Amino acid sequence: MRNAFTLILLTAVCLGAATVKAASSPTPTSRVTVIGDSIATAIALEPVARRILDRGIDLDLQVTPCRRLAGESCPYEGTRPPTLIELLRSLRRGPTVVVATGYNDYESTFASTIATTLTALRNAGVENVLWLTLRAERQSYLNMNDLILEASKRESRLTVVDWNLYSRSHPDWFQPDGLHLLRDGAIAMATLVHGKLNDLGLVATPTRRVLAIATTRLPAGHIGDRYIVRLRTTGGTAPIRWVRVQGVIPAGLALKRGGVLSGTPRVVGKRSLLLRATDTAGGSVARRFTMTVTP
């Protein structure tokens, strides 16, 4: 198994393969099958992301590189993984399927592929289809997202999960190719999907709110003036601990573990800071801030 957080293949969208059957919640509403390609393997490889996605559902995570929706998957390590349609024939599937694939499919036939896939899901007895849009790092993916949205207007059981919009302003979630996920990206994708499942009433019991950063910006500081800001979060299980992941905090300031950024700025300038908040249940989320110090 290659590590999906370090390996990038520039041709096919392929990382390490992973198929995970996550532990069931005590009283799951129903089985939720997530079918993905190499992008979603990051969720399988990141324990925090798996825990977030697994809450309140009976999760079956089926992810592998090079998967296509229909036809024939692209080759990976001498084999071709089953397409989504082929996989449906062998799964103990439930009423809900999350589609997290499409990066390896062809733009020219994507409209018909969506129709074929939805027909196969319908014939398999799937009642709820959640379909993630593609991260639009290529024009073809943007065009394919339009086709997914068009299909949702015709298919009442199809719910679009707009991963492209959700991730648009977070390049720090991705490896250099802009598609494959780093740890924060895996957590973010799991959070988005679980939130949509919860919105649709598919999560068995009310779950604690997922940890999120409420602070959106850092106010400017001034040389010689006392500076203090408390970083705020929503959800999660207290206490929340903060750390600096990237960037250099301006001279004279310090970040305390409880989320207080304070001190007296000594140097004029602008700094980019990536700060991470982690709760006691293992939930973790990061945000990039810009910190400006003026005379």
Question: In CATH, what number is assigned to the domain containing residue 111?
Answer: 3.40.50.1110
**Are 187 and 276 in a shared domain?**
no
Contact 117, 59 (CB under 8 A): no
Q: With pLDDT > 90 as the criterion, what percentage of the chain qualifies?
A: 76
CB distance 53 to 78 below 8 Å: no
Residue that finishes a domain, picked among 149, 177, 199: 199
Residue 188 exposed, middle or buried by CB count within 10 Å (0-12, 13-18, 19+): buried
Instruction: Return the pLDDT at 17.
Output: 41
Which residues make beta-bridge pairs with 132? 161
Return the half-sphere exposure (C-beta side, CA atoms, 13 A cut-off) of residue 263.
Answer: 13
Which residue range is the domain that position 117 belongs to? 18-199
> 120-154 pLDDT, tens per residue?
999 999 999 999 999 999 999 999 999 999 999 99
Q: Are residues 142 and 264 in the same domain?
A: no
CATH code, domain with 237: 2.60.40.10
Please report which confidence band the pLDDT of residue 239 belongs to, taking 50, 70 and 90 as the band edges. Answer: confident
Look at residue 4 and tell me if it is in a domain. no
- Averaged confidence pLDDT in the chain: 88
Determine, yes or no, domain membership for 10. Answer: no
pLDDT class of 281 with cuts at 50, 70, 90: confident
pLDDT-derived band at 19 (thresholds 50, 70, 90) equals very low
Residue 50 and residue 178 in one domain? yes
Residues 148, 91: one domain?
A: yes
Q: Do 259 and 162 lie in a common domain? A: no
Per-residue pLDDT at 124: 93
State the Cα torsion 145-150-153-155 to the nearest 10°: -80
Question: Do 256 and 158 lie in a common domain?
Answer: no
